[in-house]
Chains A and B, each alone.
Chain A
Amino acid sequence: MSKRYNFAAVLSAVVLICCGALILNQNVNAAGEGKITGTVKLDGPAPHMKGIDMGKDPYCAKAHANDPAHLETYVVGADGGLANVVVYISEGLSGSAAAESSATEPVFDQKNCMYTPHVLGLTVEQKFKVTTSDQTTHNIHPLPNPMTGNIPWNQSQPPGAAPVEKSWKAPEMIPVQCNIHPWMHGWFAVVKGPHATSDTKGTYTISNVPAGNYTVTAWQEAAGTQTQKVTVAAGGAGSANFTFKPK
């Protein structure tokens, strides 16, 4: 009997040591990791974005009384910087780097009957929260392609309700919609490995990239995807700039 306990103790110790080694190993790696930076621009004048008529829900209409809402298909800053473009490493990642995900849970907030952010970049299996800042009920209805293995869901979130915590199983660009406020439209951009989303200046930074040769893909919800080859030296920075043409 006691022999068995000894065995269990030894086994546990081995497991603990291995785990510790793994954690330490990661830290060591992180110090030597580089990044990929760049700017995403839109070629030509910004397309006209339709205004949104929120007349259906007085709460939403009131929230935008002085600040009319517009569609967010293209969000273009000064100098043609294109926001909400998800840039991610599509080829060249080793298995362990691809499985990595950041420690903090990204938040997808419903605020003034719009999604903030409009596009939420996520890695596979990464947990994220859907929250509401509104005093009106929303439903969150992402509709992934069932063939990918992602499971669709459709859930209401009344005012003051607890955050909805979810994750996705497979890489996919998943549209999400509120059916109660049909103009509310956003994306879960689920990818493998490090990624970044461009801001209104069009800039992005993918950090925690190990040294190596990569193919980087930039995805814009309407304009599609573009790819580039990038080389990152240990601890150094690679660069990739993209220019999209509006469709």
Chain B
Amino acid sequence: MAKIFAVTIILIAIASAVPIVMHMWPMPQDISTHGALIDEQYADTMLEAGISFLASQFLLAFFIWKFSAPRPGERVKNFPGGATGLVAAAFLLVGTEVLALGVFGTKAWASVYLTPPAANAVPVQVQAGQFAFYFRYPGPDGTFGPIHPEQISEANANFFGLDTTHDQDSKDDIVAAEMAIPVNREIHLLMHSKDVGHSFFVPELRIQQDFVPGLDVSVHFTATKVGRYEIVCTQLCGLGHYNMKAYLEVKSQEDYDAWIKQQSALQ
């Protein structure tokens, strides 16, 4: 029984590793400038975690195989080096490993979160609400008009509560249900929640950020590949959570300009 168990552990460990090694269900392609750092960090971690996983499962299996059938009269033995050796190994190996991961990982994190957006970044505001995203572009004046919560009226398609009769800044604001962005330009995404907690996740963009009701947060990123991608909500927000999504259209600069023009006419 012990030997079957040992073999089972080894088989499970190998079977677990196969889909990872074979990239059977890979991470979605990366279309961001900062994503390479994250992917690299992920690959390093996968290597270290994979080795730790396989090594410890194999060791467990090997010890079970070897020590489950002692010959009669055999005495118990102690691990060479005893506890001290193992504790030292844990501190040295795992300690340096995690420290290295932590330090290098800081770079990837910092590239997203600890650097300010470029001055010429394209500002886009996203508002999350049960259960849809709406996007706002500031228009030619480059300024977003103020949000008046009491004027938010989905019934009248005033999703941001804009007062276009009184607020000069709101008059040229463009509101859309899809997010179009120019390729290879930095985007400064201002995130506002209308009601409860939501999240903005585009796997291809390597961006995930929660909306905090009552606190506007922002992220910035640059998309490098034209295409249509899904924006999904990852923070449980109610019964339509699984259905809360929008589309990200990464367009060439010309297409983007045309889109803005077209949307502006629809307001």
- Which residues on A are within 8 Å of B, measured CB to CB? 50-57, 71, 73, 136-137, 139, 154, 156, 175, 177, 179-183, 185
- Could you tell me the distance between the alpha carbons of A129 and B177 in the complex, rounded to whole angstroms? 30
Is A182 within 8 A of B266, CB to CB? no
Known: A177-B155, A179-B130. A53 touches B243 (CB 8 A): no
Known: A51-B266, A56-B245, A56-B246. A180 touches B155 (CB 8 A): no
Is B156 within 8 A of A182, CB to CB? no
A55's partner among B129, B238, B239, B246 (CB-CB below 8 A) is B246
Is B155 within 8 A of A53, CB to CB? no
Known: A56-B133, A56-B246, A71-B157. A154 touches B178 (CB 8 A): no
Q: In this complex, which of A73, A139, A156, A179 has the most chain B Cβ atoms within 10 angstroms of its Cβ?
A: A179
* Residues of chain A contacted by B176 (CB below 8 angstroms): 53, 55
Is B132 within 8 A of A181, CB to CB? yes
* B242 closest partner in A (C-beta): A137
Is B239 within 8 A of A182, CB to CB? no
Is B266 within 8 A of A56, CB to CB? no
Let me know if B53 is at the binding interface, CB within 8 A: no
Let me know if B254 is at the binding interface, CB within 8 A: no
- Could you tell me the distance between the alpha carbons of A181 and B240 in the complex, rounded to whole angstroms? 10
* B176 closest partner in A (C-beta): A53
- Could you tell me the distance between the alpha carbons of A44 and B5 in the complex, rounded to whole angstroms? 84
* Residues of chain A contacted by B240 (CB below 8 angstroms): 137, 139, 156, 179-180
Taking the closest CB of chain A, its distance from the CB of B125, in whole angstroms, is 16
Taking the closest CB of chain B, its distance from the CB of A137, in whole angstroms, is 6
Is A139 within 8 A of B157, CB to CB? no
The A contact surface, by secondary structure, is loop
* A54 closest partner in B (C-beta): B177
- Could you tell me the distance between the alpha carbons of A68 and B132 in the complex, rounded to whole angstroms? 20
Known: A56-B177, A183-B154. 11 other contacts (CB 8 A): A50-B156, A51-B266, A55-B246, A56-B132, A56-B246, A179-B132, A179-B239, A180-B240, A180-B243, A181-B132, A183-B157
Let me know if B247 is at the binding interface, CB within 8 A: yes
Is A73 within 8 A of B178, CB to CB? no
Is B177 within 8 A of A55, CB to CB? yes
* Residues of chain A contacted by B132 (CB below 8 angstroms): 56, 179-182
Number of A-B contacts (CB under 8 A): 60
Taking the closest CB of chain B, its distance from the CB of A65, in whole angstroms, is 15
Let me know if B201 is at the binding interface, CB within 8 A: no
Is B178 within 8 A of A55, CB to CB? yes
* A50 closest partner in B (C-beta): B157
- Which residues on B are within 8 Å of A, measured CB to CB? 129-133, 154-157, 159, 176-178, 238-240, 243-247, 266
Is B154 within 8 A of A53, CB to CB? no
- Could you tell me the distance between the alpha carbons of A179 and B178 in the complex, rounded to whole angstroms? 17
Taking the closest CB of chain A, its distance from the CB of B176, in whole angstroms, is 6
* Residues of chain A contacted by B266 (CB below 8 angstroms): 51, 53
* Residues of chain A contacted by B177 (CB below 8 angstroms): 53-56
* A154 closest partner in B (C-beta): B239
Taking the closest CB of chain B, its distance from the CB of A77, in whole angstroms, is 21
Taking the closest CB of chain A, its distance from the CB of B201, in whole angstroms, is 15
- Could you tell me the distance between the alpha carbons of A154 and B177 in the complex, rounded to whole angstroms? 23
Is A73 within 8 A of B239, CB to CB? no
Taking the closest CB of chain B, its distance from the CB of A52, in whole angstroms, is 7
- Could you tell me the distance between the alpha carbons of A137 and B244 in the complex, rounded to whole angstroms? 11
* Residues of chain B contacted by A71 (CB below 8 angstroms): 155-157
Is A55 within 8 A of B247, CB to CB? yes
* B155 closest partner in A (C-beta): A185
* Residues of chain B contacted by A56 (CB below 8 angstroms): 132-133, 177-178, 245-247
Is A179 within 8 A of B238, CB to CB? yes
Taking the closest CB of chain B, its distance from the CB of A245, in whole angstroms, is 18
Taking the closest CB of chain A, its distance from the CB of B57, in whole angstroms, is 42
- Could you tell me the distance between the alpha carbons of A110 and B138 in the complex, rounded to whole angstroms? 34
- Could you tell me the distance between the alpha carbons of A180 and B242 in the complex, rounded to whole angstroms? 10
* Residues of chain B contacted by A175 (CB below 8 angstroms): 155
- Could you tell me the distance between the alpha carbons of A185 and B133 in the complex, rounded to whole angstroms? 17
* B175 closest partner in A (C-beta): A53
Taking the closest CB of chain B, its distance from the CB of A160, in whole angstroms, is 16
- Could you tell me the distance between the alpha carbons of A136 and B244 in the complex, rounded to whole angstroms? 12
A139's partner among B133, B156, B239 (CB-CB below 8 A) is B239
* B130 closest partner in A (C-beta): A179
Is B178 within 8 A of A182, CB to CB? no
Is B243 within 8 A of A182, CB to CB? no
* Residues of chain B contacted by A53 (CB below 8 angstroms): 176-178, 266
Q: In this complex, which of B155, B156, B247 has the most chain A Cβ atoms within 10 angstroms of its Cβ?
A: B155
